[in-house]
């Protein structure tokens, strides 16, 4: 059997003929349709790459109109004036701008989340001016008792948004379970469940944005652990680790530091809780929450000692770390 490979551009060239046969597609902007083909092409490229690598393949799934939650204008066909967004083949849509649109707008993605629609602009901007040097440095130890502890001993409390909302989520989930599959009532119940989870997600993201912004504004050098968060999230503390959202927080901290010209250093996490900042070994189990070093006499909270050790490791890399860069020890 001869196999013929159909490229992304082969499919795009067929679009005019397909649109001529389907009146509904005439109401869709041509570049939006081309972007859909690019998405399909990426999905199949990833599928065949996983097969060659011997991984679980996961055949690309067809997305119905209920599952297809975004469309992209890759080059043009849109314009924004004040609080009105002009979309080709759609019309004028009133929007609420979260912030002024700065720079040269390149693409626009219209996204649906839990019944609400968002317009996401991708822009090109000039390299920002670095923030003034503050001279302050810190190491950050993320945890579950406190969300984070800094080298000066300051604690950031863990808000535990999922734990707080768990009772409401349980009730909303029961409502979905009691509805007949395929019914309109079940669809409405699923929508309520999505909004409940989305609210928790938004609370967590807001917390991460605000705390990472405070840290970047305050410190010129920030040292953090290069954690295997995916591995931690699969252990016995998975719910608490996912609720804290360390990965999302560190991602936000990384790009904010780069944008502000700060130095962010990622250090090897192995042994940071088993050593004293003086370099002496102080082994302790997870149940031991207080650090006492017989070599230097340091007696502080375990997380505080870890933050000091993370800062020490970060400073050891400072000579090889440039402003706005990320290094790993």
Please, are residues 189 and 196 in contact by the beta-carbon 8 Å criterion?
Answer: no
Q: Strands of 84-87's sheet, edge to edge?
A: 78-81, 84-87, 91-94
Taken in order 284, 290, 295, 296, the sign of the CA dihedral is positive
Please, are residues 283 and 116 in contact by the beta-carbon 8 Å criterion?
Answer: no
Q: Is 35 a catalytic residue?
A: no
Please, are residues 251 and 294 in contact by the beta-carbon 8 Å criterion?
Answer: no
Q: How far is CA 204 from CA 25, 47, 172, 193, in A?
A: 39, 32, 20, 17
Q: Is 226 a catalytic residue?
A: no
Among the options 21, 24, 126, 303, which is catalytic?
303
Q: Tell me the sheet residues that pair with 264.
A: 222, 326
Distance CA 326, CA 126 (A): 21
The pair of structure tokens assigned to 246 is 């360390």
**How big is the chain, counted in residues?**
329
Among the options 35, 141, 243, 309, which is catalytic?
141
Q: DSSP string covering 93-148, please? A: EE---SS---SEEEEEEEEEETTEEEEEEEEE-PPPPPPPP---EEEEEE-SSEEE
Please, are residues 304 and 291 in contact by the beta-carbon 8 Å criterion?
Answer: yes
Q: Is 154 a catalytic residue?
A: no
Among the options 24, 102, 211, 225, which is catalytic?
225
Give the CA radius of gyration of the chain.
Answer: 25
| Enclosing H/E stretch for 260 | helix 246-260
Which residues participate in catalysis according to the annotation?
Answer: 141, 225, 303
């Amino acid at each position: 059997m001869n196999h013929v490979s159909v490229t992304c551009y082969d499919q795009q060239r067929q679009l005019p003929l397909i649109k001529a046969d389907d009146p509904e597609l005439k109401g869709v902007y041509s570049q939006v349709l081309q972007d859909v083909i690019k998405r399909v092409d990426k999905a199949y490229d990833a599928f065949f790459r996983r097969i060659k690598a011997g991984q679980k393949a996961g055949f690309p799934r067809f997305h119905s109109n209920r599952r297809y939650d975004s469309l992209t204008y890759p080059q043009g066909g849109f314009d924004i004036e004040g609080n009105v967004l002009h979309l080709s083949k759609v019309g004028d849509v009133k929007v609420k701008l979260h912030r002024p649109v700065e720079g040269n707008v390149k693409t626009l993605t219209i996204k649906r989340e839990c019944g609400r629609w968002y317009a996401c602009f991708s822009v090109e901007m000039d390299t920002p001016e670095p923030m003034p040097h503050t001279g302050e440095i810190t190491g950050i130890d993320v945890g579950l008792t406190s969300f984070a502890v800094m080298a000066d001993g300051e604690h950031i409390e863990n808000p535990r948004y999922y734990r707080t909302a768990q009772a409401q989520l349980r009730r909303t989930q029961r409502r979905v379970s009691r509805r007949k599959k395929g019914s309109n009532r079940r669809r409405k119940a699923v929508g309520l469940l999505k909004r409940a989870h989305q609210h928790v997600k938004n609370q967590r993201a807001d917390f991460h944005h605000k705390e990472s912004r405070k840290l970047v504004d305050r410190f010129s050098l920030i040292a953090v652990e290069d954690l295997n968060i995916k591995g931690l999230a699969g252990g016995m503390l998975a719910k608490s680790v996912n609720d804290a959202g360390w990965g999302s927080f560190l991602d936000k901290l990384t790009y904010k530091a780069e944008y502000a010209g700060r130095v962010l250093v990622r250090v090897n996490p192995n042994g940071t809780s088993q050593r004293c900042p003086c370099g002496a070994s102080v082994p302790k189990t997870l149940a031991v929450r207080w650090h006492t070093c017989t070599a230097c006499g340091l007696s502080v909270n375990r997380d505080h000692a870890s933050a000091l050790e993370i800062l020490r490791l970060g400073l050891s890399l400072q000579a090889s770390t440039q402003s706005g860069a990320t290094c790993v020890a």
